[in-house]
Amino acid sequence: MRPLFIAGNWKMNPGTAEDAVALAEAIKVGVGQETRVRVALCPPSVFLQAVDGVLENSPIGLGGQNMHWKTDGAYTGELSGAMLVDSGCTHVILGHSERRHGLGETDHQVNDKLKAALAIQLIPIVCVGETLVEREAGKTDEVVGTQLENSLAEITAEQMCGIVLAYEPVWAIGTGKTATPAHAQHVHLFIRNLLRETFNAATAARVVVLYGGSVKPDNAADLLACPDIDGALVGGASLKASDFLGIIQAGQAVTAKGKA
For residue 113, the minimal CB distance to ligand PEP (Å) is 16
3-state secondary structure of 8: strand
Q: According to the binding rule CB under 6 A, does residue 40 interact with ligand PEP? A: no
The residue ranges of DSSP E strands in 81-129, in sequence order, are 91-94, 123-128
Which position among 95, 212, 246, 251 is part of the footprint of ligand PEP (CB under 6 A)? 212
Judged by CB under 6 A, the residue of 128, 160, 173, 204 near ligand PEP is 173
> Do the Cβ atoms of 59 and 40 come closer than 8 Å?
no
- Binding flag, residue 246, ligand PEP (CB under 6 A): no
* Site for ligand PEP contains 9 (CB under 6 A): yes
What secondary structure does DSSP assign to 43-73, as a single string?
--GGGHHHHHHHTTTSS-EEEES---SSSSS
Alpha helices of 161-200 — where are they, by DSSP H? 181-198
Residue from 61, 124, 129, 236 binding ligand PEP (CB under 6 A): 236
Residue 108 annotated to the active site? no
User: Is position 234 an interface residue for ligand PEP (rule: CB under 6 A)?
Assistant: yes
For residue 168, state whether it binds ligand PEP (rule: CB under 6 A): yes
Q: How far is the CB of 130 from ligand PEP (least distance, A)?
A: 14
Residue 63's DSSP bridge partners are: 91
Q: What share of the chain is helix, strand, coil (3-state, %, to 5)?
A: 50, 15, 35
Q: Judge whether 78 counts as a catalytic residue.
A: no
How far apart are CB 56 and ligand PEP at their closest, in Å? 26
Taking the least distance from each CB to ligand PEP, the nearer of 199 and 244 is: 244
Among 63, 64, 95, 235, interactor with ligand PEP by CB under 6 A: 235
Q: What are the residues whose beta carbons fall under 8 Å from the beta carbon of 68, sequence distance 6 or more? A: 75, 78, 79, 80, 81, 113, 116
Task: Please identify the residue of the shown chain whose CB is closest to the bound ligand PEP.
Answer: 235
CA distance 131 to 110: 18
Catalytic residue numbers read 96, 168
Please report, as ranges, the residues that interact with ligand PEP according to CB under 6 A: 9, 11, 168, 173-174, 212-215, 233-237
